[in-house]
Amino acid sequence: MNQMDVDGMNVTARSYAVQIANFSYCVGAALAQANAIMTGWRIGAKEFEECNRGTRKAAIYGIITATCFSVTFAFAGHFIVHIFTDDTQMINLVVKLLIVDIFLEFGRVTNLVYGQALKTSGDALFPVILGAIFMYLFAVGGTYFLGIHMGLLAVGAYIAMAGDECARAVGMVLRWKSGKWKSKGLVEV
């Protein structure tokens, strides 16, 4: 991001967008943590079907909430960012980032809920490996390709980050649905 422009416009725009999107992120993180606690209890009680239902429910609530927040922030972006700056170019750039953030938050909340559930179940290695591979491929590679090579700058970086979150979310959901986490329990009763 620092190499994308000399005046720091893209880094500053990303900073504004991240601060605004943190409201949505906090909801997703809270749901993921609450579901992780319930997942631990349910796995301890061998209530695997309840684990499935609870995790799916937390993901759905999280997706709905994150999408509502993100869409609201994208539509109200001009008003929100205008609180911090009068620079029209900056406001327009932040609004573009907030539009891409809709997809980023959709993937992030899914990734958080299912990733935390997998970690709680004892299947912690899968999210770590998947995260390392996908973050490098999508976030780093995608940011270079879209942001620098294609010249999309911060918007390209955000598209790459959204791709990373969404791709990891698909991986987490597929791993959860495979049921392999059921055999990874850390405590034997």
Average pLDDT over residues 123-145: 95
The DSSP annotation for 55-102 comes to HHHHHHHHHHHHHHHHHHHHHTHHHHHHTT---HHHHHHHHHHHHHHH
The token duo for 133 is: 């591979």
- pLDDT band with cut points at 50, 70 and 90 for residue 185: low
Closest CA relative to residue 24, chosen from 102, 115, 114: 102
Query: What pLDDT, on the 0 to 100 scale, is given for residue 112?
Result: 97
pLDDT more than 90, % of the chain: 91
The DSSP annotation for 116-185 comes to HHHHHHT--HHHHHHHHHHIIIIIIIHIIIIIIISS-HHHHHHHHHHHHHHHHHHHHHHHHHHTGGGG--
Query: What pLDDT, on the 0 to 100 scale, is given for residue 184?
Result: 81
- pLDDT band with cut points at 50, 70 and 90 for residue 162: very high
Q: What is the mean pLDDT of the chain?
A: 94
- pLDDT band with cut points at 50, 70 and 90 for residue 3: confident
67 close to 105: Cβ distance less than 8 angstroms: yes
Q: How far is CA 170 from the centre of its chain?
A: 12
For residue 1, is pLDDT > 90?
Answer: no
105 close to 25: Cβ distance less than 8 angstroms: yes
How far is 25 from 66, CA to CA, in rounded Å? 7
Query: What pLDDT, on the 0 to 100 scale, is given for residue 161?
Result: 97
The type of residue at 164 is D
pLDDT tens readout for residues 80-109: 999 999 999 999 999 999 999 999 999 999
> pTM, whole model, 2 decimals?
0.92
Query: What pLDDT, on the 0 to 100 scale, is given for residue 68?
Result: 96
Query: What pLDDT, on the 0 to 100 scale, is given for residue 126?
Result: 96
